[in-house]
Amino acid sequence: MVTASFSRATSRVDGPFGALEYLSLGSGTPSSIFAHGLAGSIATTRPFATGVPGRRSFLHFRGHGASDAPENAWTYPALGAELRAVADRVEATRALGVSMGAGAMCALLEQSPDRFERLVFVLPAVLDQPRTDAALSRLVALADLVDERDVEGITDHLVREQPRAQRDSPAVRTWAAEQARLLSGTPVSRALRALPGEVPLTDRAVLARVNARTLVIGQADDDAHPEHVARELAEVLPEARLEILPPGGVLWGHRSWVRELVSTFLGETD
């Protein structure tokens, strides 16, 4: 989870509610767009693009990185509209969304089920039913720490959110400390308070209209991204393949596995 700005390498596009920062790498086809999670960033989605051919583009949603932080409501439909703006700019035909980014994809697809030809949902957290899990209070606690600019407190919080087997790793502590510094005092706190009570879909049944080939990646024993949500999403999407990873961290213990899954899937030609 990082909110660093990549202003020297990135571009900006006028989104529906303000300017959005994005980064494009590579060229040719296919063109894929990568959408980060809550309090995430371009940096945290770039590992998912390793080995993916063609043009790879990454955005910062509102309040993250150098993207504007509009005053209007922080909702999944708003995020979906922001995702569409960048996807249209880079002519993306394929999309990957992580957690909040997966929710933004769902909201976009409810309006335009045929927008993409291939989709990857990583750790989807919510569909059409509000969350009631224990992670909700932790997100609010993190928002308070961000507003208080408590870098040490944010660091400890982020470490505790990682898989138990990874928490004592020096690399995890170093990563958390850097992300804490970047999150401190940012508008991300507004998203941490608003989005956990929102849902991306009015009715998950609308996703039955999506004919894009889809990969859904869930993880066991992750209360912030319940396994059953990934299973339910795969069930409603007509062309979905489901992969449930064991505990250990999608980009900690299973980084190579996830990269192989994503690069193979997004690199395939129909």
Q: What is the pLDDT of residues 177-211, one digit of tens each?
A: 988 988 899 999 999 999 988 999 999 999 999 99
Q: How far apart, in Å, are the Cα atoms of 1 and each of 31, 52, 112, 223? A: 24, 22, 29, 17
Mean pLDDT score of the chain: 91
Domain range 11-128+198-267, its CATH number among 3.20.20.80, 3.20.190.10, 3.40.50.300, 3.40.50.1820: 3.40.50.1820
Q: Domain extents for the chain?
A: 11-128+198-267
- For the chain, counts of helices (H) and of strands (E): 9, 8
Q: What is the pLDDT of residues 102-118, one digit of tens each?
A: 999 999 999 999 999 99
Cα gap 85→93, rounded to integer Å: 13
Is 28 in contact with 22 (CB distance < 8 Å)? no
Is 154 in contact with 183 (CB distance < 8 Å)? yes
Residues in the chain: 270
Q: What is the pLDDT of residues 207-224, one digit of tens each?
A: 999 999 999 999 998 888
pTM of the full predicted structure? 0.92
Lowest mean pLDDT across 2-11, 61-70, 77-86, 170-179: 2-11
